[in-house]
Every structure is written in structure tokens, then in C-alpha cells.
Chains A and B, each alone.
Chain A
């Protein structure tokens, strides 16, 4: 047992650190630190920088542009990215539809989509959830009926995040109603410009139109855009679960936030002394750091197990999801507490980086909306209650 990184891993860490420091555009870094929303262009710029370096989609099979890293290296890459305030890449492209196409797509689909996904020439959104189907995703109702070389799709998706930026959607649709709910679902790709697709913004608590409703009205989707086999879509969607284990807890991001909070605390005065000297504040942060350290080690154990080719479903993955979201939420809560009255002005323009100057201290101006938005971390991607159900069943046998 050796809990330290190998010299080779340390060399890689240094390489990644230098890369991020040297190539992350300062304006993006600044937005990230200030907790501002990135524009579509910001996302594309950064993704293309990564792609040029060959680090656009590390965990894809090598023949499609993956780096061939093991899980530990990937973990290091993610951690260093967070450390430098690099944005998360567009998960829908890189962690979701990309790997599914790599695994189940036709040669034609691979050739067409994969290079574009890597380079963010095509922006994908996810059409899974529906008004009546959230945690119980398999109950989804959006219908796709085969007509010659097309599927005709009708229904409604909810929570299509980034739908307004997107060129394409990967969607789960019902192609067979006569069977067990999981068995009648297919995985379709379609162009958002297809007639009949209508996107309506849904503004989240932070005041930003992060997500959307998408209405599908007799949308004609060529059959060649079906991924894999008809009615096997549920398996492809499930294949994704557990795909993003190494980075799920975002330890590095929370660390970066704690570092930032400590720096900010030096400038906020409470009862005549900087908050950084305030005992209660320090203890609160220290308590978060303790949880975070435990999470980091758990994360390292999971990736070390993955590197060894251990069980795909390490029960600790759900621990990473539950604790990871809780600790992220705690760190953002703490940042808002630090801001105090500075958190009160509602300044969506500054949050969206459309306005240059913040009301109050800029470093804390977005702390309230970011706190609100962080509540989603325990809801999406399988809510924390669903994670508990999974552990209760799969690990504890209850």
C-alpha cells in the first residue's frame, strides 16, 4: 500500500499544471473565479485549446481521440484543471453522447460526429427527462414512430440544459409501448433545427436561463440517427452511469473554492478583524476541509481501483456522488456566508459577465446565485435520495 503518486504521475501532474496555467485564457479564468457564467464562445474556445493539445476527450478509446490515460491520470488531469479554474468541458459531448457513439454508434455516425464533438463544432444537449419522468426516467413518454426511413417524434422534454446553445440533441424516446418500460426505449440523435423542435427557456434560481423545455411536434428524424438497435436505448443510457466516476466529486473544484474563500476572507472585516482570523469561520472552513480530505482519499481509492481494472461499480462511487455534492454545496454556502450583505444585490448582468462592475465586492457578488444553483447538485445525475436507494440495494442488500 502506498498512498503517494508515483514519480511518473507527479511528472504528469506538473505537465498538466503548466499546461493549464499557460493556456487557460485569462478572461475565462477570471470569470470562473468570480463565479460568472461562461458564454458559448468561451466554452468552444477552451474545448478547442484542449483538442489541439490532444486532451479533449481523455477517456474515449484511443482510436477516437482518447489519451489512453488510466483513471489515476485522468483524476490528476481533472484536479489540475480545477486548480487552475479551467471550466468543466461540455459533459454532454465528452462524457455522455461521445462515449455512447464510440461504443454503440455506426461507422458513419462515428466518422461524422466524433471529431465534431471533440472540437465542439457540434454542441449536444440531452433530452432524457420529461415533465412526468425524472427519477423514474424509464417511464418517459416521448414517442417515436417509424415511418419508412424516418422516425416521427412527438412529445416533450424538460430540463434540456444548454438546449438554446445546442446544435443537436441526444434523446431517449419510446419506440415500443407494449413491453416493460425499460425495454421500449431508443436512443436517437437529432438536429435541433429540424422543423417541429421548439425550445423554451427555463430560468433557474440563479436568474440565468440555464435550461429549457423542448417540445417535439412531428419531428422527422432519419433512421440513420438511431444509435445502436431500436429498443435498446435504456442500456446505452445506463452504460453512461458510472462513466464519469473519477471526476464526479469535483474535489479539485471545491479545493479551489476553499482557497478562494480563504483569500477573500482576508479582506472582509468582522468586528474589527479580518474574517480569516475569525475563529468560527476558520472552524467552519476547517470542518469542510476535513470532509473534503476524506472525499479526496475515497476518490483516490476509487480511481486506483479503476486503474487496476476493479469492479466497474465500486459502491464508493455513490459515496462520491453524495458526499461530493454535499461538500460542494457546503463550500458555496460558506462563501455566501462570508459575503454576507455583499451577497444581497441581484446582479444577473454581472453574473453573466455582461456588466463589467459588480455592486459591492466583485469576488462575492455571485455567491448567492451560485449557492442557489448548487442545490441542483443533489438533484440531477441521479438525486442523492436515488443514490441512497442504490447503495441500500446494491451494497447493503436491503
Chain B
């Protein structure tokens, strides 16, 4: 048991921290939101140059060969800076699908390009009616000779607006919510039949609703086996939650720090408001929640590659429950302890609150994961009675 970072990990952390410190002040971030994509292409290239975009990929594909801990390091830093760039969509989700399920040829073709910053990807999976049910896919994938044809609509595809390529889930067989019969397809975002409606999300990121009308996909662009994509989707969702948990912790720590700083500097009634014990104790409860959430982000890093499917799934459920609850608590209190200033978009803290609210929704909210964990029997096995 050792919670210290290795030398390489420390260097990774330092380089990302340094870059973000230089380039991601709140003011700088504002200018990035105004760019056409809502993020900075120039910084994206810098991430690529620093090797950040290939962190989880094997060195065979030009990657850093990092694991969940490296992802944790990056995402925590991104969470602290409220990074806008499509790392999560491209590397974690899109890259994750390829990494987990791609053939050698697909990996060769895609992963190095992602690492070089030359390919943006998105994971077009969720639909109007799917909510948090990963198996709920109505978009159809029909065989046409050796090709596939996709029809349907995907909603809130994170960074689907700017992606070059999409990974689309489609139903090959079975009913709307069957785990069997789902396929994953690599689709060029500009392919005929693909229309995208991009929009900003609450947290200043971007997403798209994507319509697929008779979109042709070559046989070689299927990921994994036909009809057997569900376990892949589940794995990717679990990696996504691992990444989000670290991002959430980065944000919570920042909310705590900003709030404590404010408590020290804001004066009312002739004293710093941080001298009021009611507020001190609330700040401590924020710290407790943040520390506990950090522990769960570690747990996520430890469990996301666990071989036992059931144990892994339960662990990730537990992580999302905690991150959801603690993120909500820390977020709400960070606004409350600021008073009015916390309510404005001109001030930093509210942006973290908004992002943490969106993180709670992404890939299943607290209730969803708590129910799943409870259904699966919880983390601790029953014992015996006297």
C-alpha cells in the first residue's frame, strides 16, 4: 500500500499543473469559451505536445502507457482548472472504446492520431429515452450486404459538435433495452446522413444532438463483435466514471479553497465572516466531504481495471454515489458561504458548482447508482449471526 506518486507520475502532474497554471486562469478560460468550438485548439495542440492526449494508450500506439492513476492525475488537474477541451470525449470515451475493443488495425489507425491531437472523437450513445440505462438503444443498425446502415437519433453527445469521428451504438437485434444485440460503429462525423445540432451545455462545454439517416458503415468499422457491444459500453462508462470522479475531486478542492479564502477576506459586522463558527463548521464539513470523495476517486482508480465484473461494477457504483452526493454538498455550500457573489457567473466558484452538478448527471446520477449498488448486494458480503 503506497499512496505516493512514482517519479514519472509526479512529472506528469507537474507538467499538467504548470501548463494549466500558465494558461488556464479564470480570465483566460473565458476567452477560450468564446472561440468557435468553445475551447482552445491551440491548447489542444499543447496537450498533444506534452503527451497528455495519449496518456492511457499503449506505447505501441505512441502512447504514454498510463493507467487509471495517470488518468486520475490529469482529470483532477482538469477539474481544478475547469478545462473546456474535449479530453474526456476524445481520449476517455472515444479513445476508451478503441482501446478496449478495437482491432490492431483500428488502434493503429486511430490512437496515434488522437495522441498527436489530429483526431477528435465523441461517443454517440445516449438517446432521448435512454436516460441512464446503458442498454437502452433504439438507433438501428441493419445489415446491407457486408456494410451496415444506421438510423436513429443520439442526444447530448458530449463534444459531438466538433468531433471528426463518432463511435455510434446501434441496435442490431433484440428489444429496446436488451443487453444483447448492440453494436458499436465508427462513423465519420461528416458522412452522408449524419446531421449534427451543436449547443453549449450548462457548464460551458459543448454537446450535440446527432441524427443518423441511412448512414453507411463499412464492415471493418465495427468495433468489437456484432451484437456484443454492451460489455464494452459498460467498461467505457466505468472508465468515464473513474475519470469524472477525479475531475470532481479537483473541482471540490478548488471550491473549498476558494470558499475558505473568501471566508478570510470578506468582512461583515466588522469581522471576517470566517470568524463565525457556523461558517467554520460548514467549511470543515466541505473538507470532510472533499477528503472522502478523494478517497473514492482513489478507490475508482484501484478498481476500474478489476477483473471481476461484478466487483468492478459495484465499486464504480459506489464511487458515483459518493461523488454525486459530496459534489452536491460542497457545491451548494460553496455558493451559500459566499452569499450573493457566489450566485454570479462573473465569479469563479459558481462555475465549479455548475460543473459538479453536470458531473452528477453524467453516466448516471446518485439515485441510479445507489439503486444499482443495492440491487447488487452492496460492497460488503453478508456475515453470519450468533
A interface residues with partner B (beta carbon < 8 Å): 1-6, 9, 29-30, 33-34, 72, 255-256, 258-260, 262-267, 276, 279, 282-283, 285-287, 289-298, 300-301, 303-305, 308, 315-316, 319, 322-323, 362-363, 385, 387-389, 391-392, 395-398
Question: Is B283 a contact of A304 with CB atoms below 8 Å?
Answer: no
**Shortest beta-carbon distance from B349 to chain A in Å:** 16
Chain B residues with CB under 8 Å of A286's CB are 318, 321, 370, 373-374, 378-379
Q: With an 8 A cutoff between CB atoms, is B11 at the interface?
A: no
> Smallest Cβ distance from A390 to chain B, in angstroms?
9
**B296, closest chain A residue (CB):** A294
Q: Which of B132-170 contact A (CB under 8 A)?
A: none
For residue B268, CB closer than 8 A to chain A, the reply is no
A9 touches B1 (CB 8 A): yes
Interface residue tally for chain B (C-beta within 8 Å): 49
Q: Is the CB of A294 within 8 A of B299?
A: yes
Given contacts A297-B296, A388-B281, contact A1 B378 (CB under 8 A): no
- What are the nearest 8 A-B pairs in CB distance? A259-B383, A262-B382, A297-B295, A282-B374, A392-B280, A294-B292, A33-B386, A3-B302
Contact A259 B380 (CB under 8 A): yes
The minimal Cβ–Cβ distance linking A24 to chain B, given in whole angstroms, is 13
Instruction: For residue A218, give the distance in angstroms from its CB to the closest CB of chain B.
Output: 41
From B4, B370, B384, contact of A1 by CB (8 A):
B4
B322 lies within 8 A of chain A by Cβ: yes
User: Is B100's beta carbon under 8 Å from chain A?
Assistant: no
Whether A291 contacts B292 in the complex (CB less than 8 A), given A3-B302, A285-B378, A397-B260, comes out as yes
The reply on B86 being an interface residue by CB < 8 A is no
* Residue with the highest number of chain A CB atoms closer than 10 Å, among B292, B294, B370, B377: B292
Q: Tell whether, in the assembled complex, residue B288 and residue A322 are in contact, meaning their CB atoms are under 8 Å apart.
A: yes
Do B291 and A319 touch across chains, with their CB atoms under 8 A apart?
yes
A residues in contact with B382, CB < 8 Å: 259, 262-263, 265-266, 276
Tell me the complex Cα distance, A9–B1, Å: 9
A45, B214: Cα distance in complex, Å: 78
Q: Evaluate contact between A398 and B283: CB separation under 8 angstroms.
A: yes
B3 within 8 Å of A by Cβ? Answer: yes
The 0/1 profile, CB within 8 Å of A marked 1, for residues 280-300 of chain B is 110111011001111110110
Q: A2-B1, A293-B379 are in contact. Are A298 and B284 (CB under 8 A)?
A: no
B1 and A4 contacting across the interface, CB-CB below 8 Å = yes
User: Is B295 within 8 A of A298, CB to CB?
Assistant: yes
Contacting B1 at CB < 8 Å: which of A5, A279, A293? A5
A1 touches B6 (CB 8 A): yes
Is B101's beta carbon under 8 Å from chain A? Answer: no
Partner of B378, one of A260, A262, A301, A303: A262
Give per-residue flags for B284-326: 1 if the beta carbon is below 8 A from chain A beta carbons, else 0: 1101100111111011011000000000000000100110000
A396-B256 Cα distance, complex, nearest whole Å = 9
Q: Which residue of B lies closest to A282 (CB)?
A: B374
Instruction: Indicate whether A1 sits within 8 Å of B69 (C-beta atoms), given known contacts A260-B383, A391-B284, A398-B274.
Output: yes
CA A160 – CA B302 in complex, angstroms? Answer: 44
Q: Is B28 an interface residue (CB 8 A)?
A: no
In the complex, are the beta carbons of B379 and A308 less than 8 A apart?
no
A392 B284 Cβ-Cβ under 8 A: yes
Q: Are B3 and A398 in contact (CB under 8 A)?
A: no
- The residue on A at minimum CB distance from B386 is A33
B373 proximity list for chain A (CB < 8 A): 286, 289-290
Instruction: Tell me whether A294 and B295 are in contact (CB under 8 A).
Output: yes
* B316-349 contacts to A (CB < 8 Å): 318, 321-322
Instruction: Using A4-B302, A255-B380 as known contacts, say yes or no to A260 and B287 having CB atoms under 8 A apart.
Output: no
Smallest Cβ-Cβ distance to A278: which chain B residue: B374
* Contact between B370 and A283, CB atoms less than 8 A apart: yes
Could you say which residues of chain A place their CB within 8 Å of the CB of B264?
397-398
Contacts of B69 in A (CB 8 A): 1
B381 touches A295 (CB 8 A): no
* A282 touching B378, Cβ below 8 Å: yes
On whether the beta carbons of A259 and B281 are closer than 8 Å, the reply is no
Q: Measured between C-beta atoms, what is the minimum distance from A115 to chain B in Å?
A: 33
Binding site for A on B (CB under 8 A): 1-6, 9, 69, 260, 263-264, 274-275, 277, 280-281, 283-285, 287-288, 291-296, 298-299, 301-302, 318, 321-322, 370-371, 373-375, 377-386
**Smallest beta-carbon distance A316→chain B, Å:** 6
Q: Which residue from chain A places its CB closest to the CB of B256 in the assembled complex?
A: A396
Report the minimal beta-carbon distance from A216 to chain B, rounded to whole angstroms: 34
Residues of B near A294 (CB, < 8 A) are 292-293, 295-296, 299, 322
A265 to B292, CA, bound (A): 28
The residues of A that contact B260 with a CB separation of less than 8 Å are 396-398
Asked whether, in the complex, the Cβ of A392 is within 8 Å of the Cβ of B283, the reply is: yes
Q: Are A3 and B3 in contact (CB under 8 A)?
A: yes
Chain B contacts for A33, CB-based, 8 A:
385-386
- The residues of B that contact A392 with a CB separation of less than 8 Å are 277, 280-281, 283-284
What residues of B have a CB within 8 angstroms of the CB of A389 in the complex? 277, 280-281
The answer to whether A293 and B318 touch across the interface, beta carbons within 8 angstroms, is: yes
CA distance A292 to B379 in the complex (A): 10
Q: Are A304 and B287 in contact (CB under 8 A)?
A: no
Closest A-chain residue to B282, C-beta based? A388
17 contacts between A and B (CB under 8 A): A3-B3, A262-B381, A263-B382, A263-B385, A264-B385, A286-B379, A290-B296, A293-B318, A294-B299, A296-B295, A298-B295, A301-B295, A304-B2, A319-B287, A319-B291, A398-B264, A398-B274
Cβ contact within 8 Å between A304 and B3 = yes
Out of B302, B381, B386, which one reaches A363, CB within 8 Å?
B386
A323 / chain B contacts, CB cutoff of 8 Å:
288, 292
Q: How far is the CA of A323 from the CA of B287 in the complex (A)?
A: 11
Complex Cα–Cα for A319 and B383 (A): 28
Residues of chain B within 8 A (CB-CB) of A282 are 374-375, 377-378
> CB distance A285 to B288 under 8 Å?
no
Asked if residues B296 and A293 are in contact (CB atoms below 8 Å), the reply is: yes
Cβ–Cβ contact B383 & A262, under 8 A: yes
Q: Do the beta carbons of B380 and A289 come within 8 Å of each other?
A: yes
How near does chain A come to B322, taking the closest CB pair, in angstroms? 5
Closest residue of A by beta carbon distance from B320: A290
- Flag if B1 contacts A30 (CB, 8 Å): no
Residues of B within 8 A of A308 (CB): 4
Contact status B299-A298, CB under 8 Å: no
- Residues of B within 8 Å of A256, CB to CB, are 383
With a cutoff of 8 Å between Cβ atoms, the chain A residues found around residue B280 in the complex are 388-389, 392, 396, 398
* Chain A nearest CB, measured from B137 CB (Å): 26
Q: Give the CA-CA distance A303 to B382 in the complex, in Å.
A: 27
Q: How far is the CA of A385 from the CA of B378 in the complex (A)?
A: 31
A-B contact sample (6 more), CB < 8 A, given A282-B377, A289-B318, A388-B285: A1-B3, A1-B69, A30-B386, A263-B385, A297-B295, A391-B284
Q: How far is the CB of B183 from chain A (nearest CB, A)?
A: 33
A280 nearest CB neighbor, chain B only: B374
